[in-house]
Amino acid sequence: MNSAISILIVDDEKIVRDSLSKWFREDGYTVGSAEDAASALRQMQAKKWDILLLDIKMPGVDGIELQQRIKEIDPNATIIFITAHASVDTAVQALKSGAFDYVTKPVDPDYLSHLISNAVRQRVLANENLKLKEQISEFSKADEIIGESPCMQKVYELIRTVASTDTTVMIRGESGTGKELIARAIHSNSSRRYFPIVPVNCGAMPEGLLESELFGHERGAFTGAQYRRKGKLELADGGTLFLDEVGNIDMKTQMDLLRVIETKQFTRLGGNDVIKVDFRIICATNKDLEKAVAEGSFREDLYYRINVFSIFIPPLRERKGDIPVLANFFVKKYARTMGRQISSISADAMDALVRHDWPGNVRELENAIERAMVVGKPPAIRGEDLPFQLLERRTVPASGSLAAMERTHIAATLEQNHWNISRSAEILQIDRVTLYNKIEKYGLKKP
Amino acid sequence: MVSAIHILNASDIGNDHLELIARRVQETFATTTDISDRPFNLSRAYDSSRGQYNSTVLLAELLNSSPPAENKLIAVVDVDLYIPVLTFVFGEAQLNGRAAVVSVQRLSNEFYGLPQDEKTTFRRLEKEIVHELGHTFGLFHCRRYDCVMRSSTYVEEIDLKGVEPCESCRTALKGVRWNPS
């Protein structure tokens, strides 16, 4: 129904306003009129208008100037100029300033009808586009970053500050603190969010492979390169390149990467064509880059290029207040994905979770909850469902021999798993025969 | 007895032709009609700079010259009509009002340099009269290609649409509360 589309007619001649209003009302549009710019702007403040027909020649503020003010209020408004004085100059000026079209009075009804239909179609498409983008934003929203502690609030503030810029970001923090999540949050809140964020784990690849992964290669560039392959730099065009474990990049690739960051262009391995790219870089590391620079294993110029805006994610042990929130979040997450009826964590289990130091940070906590969700029984996770709880209770001799520590650890694992040999062997990552041998060796007995 | 819709013929179209159209009007709007060719002054609506007649002014004239007892009025003229912002109109009506006007001028093939075809002109006039009267009953333009309430800005478009309102326009018409005196 056309009534969803509103048209505001701005013309100093009453007869024009009246006749156009009538014409559009018969088509079922919601129509308004204004005799001058001031009245038009008042109506713009009061209500959103989809299409505005502006007379160019009006006393006081003319149509062209009025258009600029309208665009300040609603940059998406569709504007059509109408004038009795046709001139190429005014038409060009009107269209250059962002008008949808330009008509001369009197206008052919067929032409006006088509013009309005096109404007409506464009408006509907623009609205649809906006809705789809919003939906994409919802879909592409990074996994929830959980944490209510003051130090995490500061991290959120930094994300908000830097996201809208195109600045290179360095995320630092221990392993498992969620550096990639932060990178995704920055990307999701940036103007590049409709393009991909391409993560590259620089620490997981050997020298030559990382180079090929980043730059891509032409067919025959090296043995086994049977096809041309686009690199991550090309895939990140328009979006964000997330270089995880950036401190692990070898010296040669560091030099190549520096060149790309500076020139925004590169060639594929074995290729001659220069490829231009536009991406934002977000890096992450848990290494002491300053030390690496001092030792000469990381280029100083690259360090300054990537260390423009730094975000530090505190380890979990320094924000213990976040542990209950995170743990409950993971319980909900795995209850949903595993289809389990476990919805809470018992008080003793939560106490154990908060007391633990979590050297593996959030990742370790998530793994612990995932495991507890597997072994636990509804309705809540209990202390014995947690992998480390018994270990913490036992006093492990700090200066004990390796054999003593191994005995304690095996005993704790067996006890924790009610002497289930298969499960204990799985957790200890040894086979069942080895476990039986060790039980015998250390004289462990089932209670 | 006063008919619910009064058709004022100010054109060269014969009243016998208009009788046929009146029957269609009666059927569509489920009401009575009558036809007259009493004098109707068009000169006030004439714009010498355009050589056309302002249909909005004509509507006002029509209302001024008609007794209030005439519930709805439609004038059929054979002059070229316009509204100020458009180059021409086939007709004009008061949305949810009393008066409407239709011109035969641009409905005739002769206007476009083609041989006269009275049947075509008649069919176009019939559709435009029903269309404009539809507006006086509060109907908006319809998107259905075969509905008489579809907007036509090009004469051949009139040929494409039907002479009757579509189902949904009919339903809308049934919902109109109208008590002619």
| A249 shares a domain with A183 | yes
What is the interface pTM, i.e. ipTM, of the complex? 0.74
Q: Which helix (H) or strand (E) holds A23?
A: helix A14-26
pLDDT band, very low/low/confident/very high, at A375 (cuts 50, 70, 90): confident
pLDDT tens digits, one per residue of A84-105: 766 677 777 778 878 898 888 8
Q: State how beta strands A229-230 and B46-47 pair.
A: unpaired
Residue predicted with more confidence, A401 or A66: A66
Q: Of A162, A159, A11, A175, whose CA–CA distance to A80 is shortest?
A: A11
Q: Which of A80-89, A280-289, A387-396: highest mean pLDDT?
A: A280-289
pLDDT band, very low/low/confident/very high, at B2 (cuts 50, 70, 90): low
Cβ-proximal residues to A82 (8 Å cutoff; 6+ apart), any chain? A11, A16, A53, A54, A55, A56, A103, A104, A105, A107, B85
Smallest CA–CA distance from A104 into chain B, residue: B85
* Least trusted range by pLDDT, from A19-23, A71-75, A313-317: A71-75
Confirm or reject contact between B95 and chain A (CB < 8 A): yes
Q: Which tokens belong to A367?
A: 């793994």
Distance (Å) of CA B105 to CA A382, B12, B55, B110 = 90, 10, 13, 9
Model pLDDT, residue A141: 46
Residue predicted with more confidence, A98 or B91: B91
In a domain, A143, yes or no: no
Cβ-proximal residues to A376 (8 Å cutoff; 6+ apart), any chain? A342, A382, A385
Task: Determine the average pLDDT of the residues in A334-351.
Answer: 86
- Which residue type occupies B1? M
| A334 shares a domain with A305 | no
pLDDT tens digits, one per residue of B9-61: 999 999 999 999 999 999 999 999 999 988 888 999 999 999 999 999 999 99
A434: pLDDT strictly greater than 70: yes
Q: Of A148, A164, A200, A179, whose CA–CA distance to A312 is shortest?
A: A179
What share of chain A in percent tops pLDDT 90?
16
pLDDT tens digits, one per residue of A114-144: 899 899 888 888 878 877 776 665 554 445 6
Model pLDDT, residue A284: 94
Smallest CA–CA distance from A17 into chain B, residue: B85
Domain boundary among A263, A287, A314: A314
Confirm or reject contact between A112 and chain B (CB < 8 A): yes
A349: pLDDT strictly greater than 70: yes
Q: Of A92, A196, A89, whose CA–CA distance to A139 is shortest?
A: A196
* Least trusted range by pLDDT, from A24-33, A388-397, B24-33, B43-52: A388-397
A1: pLDDT strictly greater than 60: no
d(CA A273, CA A259): 16
Q: What is the pTM of this model?
A: 0.52
d(CA B100, CA B93): 4
Residues B146-150: contacts with CB under 8 Å, at least 24 apart: none
Q: Which residues pair with B102 in a beta bridge?
A: B76, B91
In a domain, A229, yes or no: yes
Q: Of A277, A247, A244, whose CA–CA distance to A260 is shortest?
A: A277
Distance (Å) of CA A260 to CA A154, A264, A276, A360, B166 = 32, 5, 9, 34, 65
| A260 shares a domain with A215 | yes
d(CA A51, CA A56): 15
Q: Which residues pair with B99 in a beta bridge?
A: B73
Confirm or reject contact between B140 and chain A (CB < 8 A): yes
Model pLDDT, residue B11: 93
Task: Count residue pairs from A and B with Cβ separation < 8 A.
Answer: 61
Domain count, chain A: 4
Domain boundary among A82, A107, A137: A137
Task: Determine the average pLDDT of the residues in A270-280.
Answer: 86
- Which of the residues of B are catalytic? 132
Confirm or reject contact between A9 and chain B (CB < 8 A): no
| A186 shares a domain with A101 | no
Task: Determine the average pLDDT of the residues in A188-199.
Answer: 85
Q: Which fold has domain B5-174?
A: Collagenase (Catalytic Domain) (3.40.390)
Model pLDDT, residue B112: 87
pLDDT band, very low/low/confident/very high, at B66 (cuts 50, 70, 90): confident
Model pLDDT, residue A390: 40
| A304 shares a domain with A432 | no
d(CA B164, CA B129): 11
d(CA B40, CA B9): 9
Residue A339 φ/ψ region, left for φ over 0, alpha for ψ in the -120 to 50 degree band, beta for the rest? left
In a domain, A144, yes or no: no
- Domain of A428, CATH number, reads 1.10.10
Task: Determine the average pLDDT of the residues in B55-80.
Answer: 89
Model pLDDT, residue B181: 61
In angstroms, what separates the C-alpha of A23 from chain B's closest C-alpha?
9
| A186 shares a domain with A114 | no
Mean pLDDT of chain A, nearest integer: 84
d(CA B62, CA B41): 9
Select the residue of B86, B135, B151 nearest A106 (Cβ to Cβ).
B86
In a domain, A240, yes or no: yes
In angstroms, what separates the C-alpha of A45 from chain B's closest C-alpha?
27
pLDDT band, very low/low/confident/very high, at B82 (cuts 50, 70, 90): very high
Interface-testing mutation among A9, A110, A116, A121, with chain B (most B C-beta atoms within 10 A): A110
| A382 shares a domain with A323 | yes
- Which residue type occupies A336? R
In a domain, A142, yes or no: no
Mean pLDDT of chain B, nearest integer: 90
Select the residue of B82, B93, B140 nearest A106 (Cβ to Cβ).
B82
Q: Are B87 and A25 a contacting pair at CB < 8 A?
A: no
In angstroms, what separates the C-alpha of B51 from chain A's closest C-alpha?
13
Domain boundary among A349, A372, A393: A393
pLDDT tens digits, one per residue of A208-226: 788 888 888 877 777 666 6
Model pLDDT, residue A130: 75
CA dihedral of residues A249, A253, A255, A261 (deg, nearest 10)? -90
pLDDT band, very low/low/confident/very high, at A64 (cuts 50, 70, 90): confident
Model pLDDT, residue A407: 84
| A310 shares a domain with A361 | no
Q: Which of A1-10, A28-37, A52-61: highest mean pLDDT?
A: A28-37
In a domain, A145, yes or no: no
d(CA A387, CA A72): 59
Tell me: cis bond preceding A379? Omega within 30 of 0 counts.
yes
Where are chain B's structural domains? Answer: 5-174
Please give the angle made by the CA atoms of A43, A45 and A51, to the nearest 5 degrees: 60
Q: Are A177 and A361 in contact (CB under 8 A)?
A: yes
| A263 shares a domain with A240 | yes
| A302 shares a domain with A158 | yes
Phi, psi of B12 (to 5 degrees): -85, 0
pLDDT tens digits, one per residue of A330-341: 898 888 888 888
| A201 shares a domain with A268 | yes
* Least trusted range by pLDDT, from A134-138, A309-313, A351-355, B48-52: A134-138
- Domain of A133, CATH number, reads 3.40.50.2300
- What residue numbers bound the domain in which A204 lies? 150-314
Model pLDDT, residue B9: 95
Q: Are A109 and B82 a contacting pair at CB < 8 A?
A: no
Q: Which tokens belong to B148?
A: 């008489």
| A305 shares a domain with A269 | yes
Residue predicted with more confidence, A139 or A256: A256
Which residues in chain B have Cβ-Cβ distances shorter than 8 Å to A82? 85
